[in-house]
Structure 1
Amino acid sequence: MRLHSGHQGQRRHEGNPVKRTSTFAAVCAAIVAGTLLITPAALAAPGGGPATGGPATGGDDAVLRGYAADTWKSLAAMTDKKTGLPADKLSGDLTVASDNTSPTNIGGYLWSTISARDLGIISTSEAFTRMKTTLKTLEDIERHEPSGMFYNWYSPLDGHKLTTWPGSGDPVDPFLSTVDNGWLAAAFRMVGEAEPRLDKQADALYASMDFGWFHNLDARAEVGLNRGGFWVTPPPGCSVPGNYGDEGADVFYTCHHYDTTVSEARIATYLGIANGQIPAEAYYGTLRTMPDQGCDFSWQEQKPTGETREYLGVSVYEGVYEYRGMKLVPAWGGSMFEALMPDLLVPESDWGTQSWAVNHPASVRAQIEHGIDEAGYGYWGFSPASDPFGEYAEYGVEGIGMSTDGYASDRERTNVDAGYDGCREATNPTPTFGDGVVTPHASFLALPYDKPAVMSNLAGIKDELAAYGPGGFYDAVATKSGTLADRYLSLDQSMIMGAIANELLDDRLKEYFVDPGFEAAVKPLVEAQVFGSKLE
């Protein structure tokens, strides 16, 4: 039996009974009254940061404000004025936008609008109009009604659900993504808190979304795991028919679950638990690493070490990988996005002093040491991004990724294989890396954990690699050849906006996102867990 019940429109407050009362209430009132926290005149044009690491300065903050102002230009340019929906991507000259968008893109645009307002880049009235337009469109577009979830691809021009791909005409099997809906729902929480005049609209949209539809209670010792999502009609390839909701027809789930802890998909788990739509025990259902069980899991990148602990009756192997003297819980592909995107909204390091507070800085340090020392690129910051040599590619630090054929950090897709003790011989333990590909949004995500290194890295990417245009940093650049992905991706630009707003405004997005009910449901779970992570 599921942990939520009753009328769907009330589910948010069943698991979250206390209405949000932000510590920014007085500030919000001032904003609504028309008082900006920072005047546009205070914005400085972006310039080169320090060439090497050093103490963060007021100058760094002025540079960040300039980056935010330029980044906002790209987000404004890719957003349709009539619908309030951002395109998925935009050309580097800010003139040509794609005719597709996703729930994550829309959610990121909403929190970027809040960030732009609070940073003084746009006025209170403009931010209100923009967000109201977006919410109105979202109230009207097609959704999966029993779950309240949004489809994964819409046209930003009129909001219709895509069934053919723009340009090519290739068919699109309408899909509902767990993680993408998580980011949009997260944005609804922030809009309702940041703009009281939109609270009812945002809360109604949020309350209509039931994350229980994604959660398979029969997975992982019956504490459950989230599926990747579902289709409403059978797609080509693998799918699993079923229905995890309370009503409606069967849907067709992905054959995979989100089963690793260090994943951007944990945002949906947080929300489902806070709403009472999935059990609290599900937080411990995902894996830190695969177990150390002989050669059964020797396909993973390295042999983990760790110990088994129990949380809420769930037995958890707290496995870690070793990398350059550190110990950390790996992501599947070793990317910054997987490790740190949820940290934009959830105060994971503050709550998880024995877990995320160590793992996040270790993930950042691993990325820095890979880019600077191990691979010798001179730059760092590896995440899925627009590809300088194609359309889109997954980049990461394979040594801190769980999959042996995980995300490479260079164009050549250099594979690192140090072997698996007693099970798999090493084939490429000390590789020579090629044309490394870095993406600026990965550096911005690292701001809370090594600001001097971030500022130095971004200055080099901007000035030495010339990866900067009229809408801020281009999405990615190859460090050896200098080849640019001279495009802007909505998702990546929104991560930049959120990271800057948090850095300059004392974790403002986290304040908007976390309310007393969310904290009461989620904080004890995060506080309890113990990783084996170590920085040195």
Structure 2
Amino acid sequence: MNRRSFLTAAAATTCAVSLTGTAAAAPAVRPDAQRRLLRDWFVATHRSMEAMTTELGLAADKIDVSGSGTPVPSAQTSPTNIGCGLWSTVAAAGLGVISASTMRHRLARAITAVERLERAHGWWFNWYDAHDGSLLTAWPETGDPVRPFLSTVDNAWLVTGLRIAADADPHLRPRVAALLADADWSYYYTPYDPADPVAGPGQLRGGFWPDKPGKGEPTGHHYGALNTEPRMASYLGMADGSLPGEHYWHLMRTLLPGMGQEQEPGGAYADIDGVRVWEGHYTHRGRKLVPTWGGSMFEALMVPLFVPEPQWSPRSWGTTHRRFVRSQIEHGLIEEEYGYWGFSPASVPDGGYREYGVDAIGMQEDGYHSLGVVTPHASFLALPQAPAEALANLRALDRAFGAYDDRYGFRDSVDVTTGRVSDVVLALDQGMITAAIAQQLRPGLLQRPFRSGGFHSRVRPLLAAERFSI
């Protein structure tokens, strides 16, 4: 939807970019004004999460915010959507947007709904009806069949939300513990086999279709790339002891030299904890970094909203995160000269869903491309690494295209080449925004469950031992 004419947007774009290609969309914002702006944005974003939450208590997948009336939540929800709803509620209470009693009521309602959801092998299915909790077997919009699936990464985000909820309300801890008692991450794990590392890579499957005998039918792939969002599942499993610590070292920083990938990597082998690790890197615009699979922002920067990678591994994870953000900024402003930056999977402005990214910093040969579509949640993810530039980029997107809605926050995506703005907001992307703002305004609020226990004793030493070749 064009909330303003493209001619106006194009004129604003010209004003938004300095001669050096750096976003100069707005004057610098003072720290106190930054906090007020971020809080205002949080309030509107949280309002969208409230609008997506059904009477059952589950956050739906999306809402269409193009009309003037109250948006209707989509029929479907996923474990990721539910997790986003849980941590957004905790963040809202932590920032004083809702009361503690309201938080406890909403969390308890959501946990009650999660307890009712059908599961297999201790895990939640990929899609449910957000309004009654039934297992989704037909896609609401088309009637196409849905084969129930147990997704590794989607379950990781639900478990993340459950752990945050239990940390925020002690009364929920026994119920969450009961929910997680049978959630054993080894279900997804293929142990390392030195005699056949292709069949036994020491990595997690993408998931299983459980309608076959035994464990079910596995995906044909494993999650092999380290710097992608499924590493949250890896961290959760290593922290609770259901995955061995060596699993971390069997994940790939890049593919090996000579294998088909976006660029031939640099780097060297290192022996770490008894594992021979290829510490590979890519080089983009003179900077060495660890690529993601597709080159998108959320692959690299959703996990550190919860696990403090930059603090536990400042020279390795902290460095590659900063350089990844810099590559995203320069891709938008210098390489493509869009005038804006921030590329991550999101809804397509004209409808549908697509992966957007910076192809050069992703391993996949035919990776994610930016295509002129800027996704606001990507700028929020960059707040720890580039706060002034992220704020300037977001303000410019709002001024030029009307990308911000003071009822429901930033729209999901903007095609800056046509001026078209998405009509919808997704729970996943709004959930990343609420977590990112919470981390900026109240550092550590959502990280508490991931700084202690097995995260401290098992995960932190692995990140401290990391020696990326960058």
Q: Could you say whether these structures have the same fold, taking a TM-score greater than 0.5 normalized by the shorter chain as the test? A: yes
Say if 2:26 and 2:396, in contact at 8 Å, map to a contact too. Answer: no
Aligned to 2:432: 495
Match of 1:224 among 177, 192, 202: 202
CA distance, structure 1, for counterparts of residue 193 and residue 356 of structure 2: 29
SS at match of 1:291: coil
CA distance, structure 2, for counterparts of residue 517 and residue 174 of structure 1: 31
> What amino acid maps onto 1:136 in structure 2?
T
Match of 2:133 among 135, 140, 159: 159
Say if 1:355 and 1:529, in contact at 8 Å, map to a contact too. Answer: yes
1:270-419 matches, cutoff 5 A: 270-293=235-258, 297=259, 299-410=260-371
CA 344–311 in structure 1, closer or farther in 2 if over 3 Å, else same: same
Match of 1:84 among 57, 80, 83: 57
Displacement after TM superposition at 1:209 (Å): 1.1
Q: How many residues align?
A: 441
Match of 1:484 among 412, 417, 421: 421
Matched, 1:149 2:123: yes
Cα deviation per residue 1:442-467 (whole Å; 9 max; x = unaligned)?
11011111100010001011111211
Taking structure 1 as the reference length, the TM-score comes to 0.80
Match of 1:511 among 433, 444, 448: 448
Mean CA deviation greater in 508-517 or 180-189: 508-517
CA distance, structure 1, for counterparts of residue 27 and residue 438 of structure 2: 22
Matched, 1:439 2:413: no
Q: RMSD of the TM alignment (CA)?
A: 1.7
SS at match of 1:320: strand
> What amino acid maps onto 2:263 in structure 1?
Q
SS at match of 2:425: strand
Match of 2:387 among 451, 454, 461: 451
> What amino acid maps onto 2:345 in structure 1?
P
Say if 2:208 and 2:215, in contact at 8 Å, map to a contact too. Answer: no
Cα deviation per residue 1:495-534 (whole Å; 9 max; x = unaligned)?
000000010002211124332332101000011011122x
Displacement after TM superposition at 1:122 (Å): 1.1
> What amino acid maps onto 1:476 in structure 2?
S
Aligned to 1:215: 189
SS at match of 1:508: coil
Say if 1:53 and 1:453, in contact at 8 Å, map to a contact too. Answer: no
SS at match of 2:128: coil
Aligned to 1:96: 72
> What amino acid maps onto 2:390 in structure 1?
V
| Runs of 5+ consecutive residues of structure 2 not aligned to the other structure | 1-15, 17-22
CA distance, structure 2, for counterparts of residue 55 and residue 460 of structure 1: 13
CA distance, structure 1, for counterparts of residue 136 and residue 27 of structure 2: 46
Cα deviation per residue 1:228-266 (whole Å; 9 max; x = unaligned)?
0001125xxxxxx8xxxxxxx331110100000110000
CA distance, structure 2, for counterparts of residue 52 and residue 334 of structure 1: 28
CA distance, structure 2, for counterparts of residue 207 and residue 269 of structure 1: 17
Match of 1:108 among 73, 84, 88: 84
CA distance, structure 2, for counterparts of residue 197 and residue 110 of structure 1: 15
**Identity percentage of aligned residues:** 46
Aligned to 1:422: none
CA 394–110 in structure 1, closer or farther in 2 if over 3 Å, else same: same
> What amino acid maps onto 1:481 in structure 2?
T
| Runs of 5+ consecutive residues of structure 1 not aligned to the other structure | 1-47, 235-240, 242-248, 411-435
Aligned to 1:75: 49
CA distance, structure 2, for counterparts of residue 460 and residue 196 of structure 1: 42
CA distance, structure 2, for counterparts of residue 358 and residue 379 of structure 1: 23
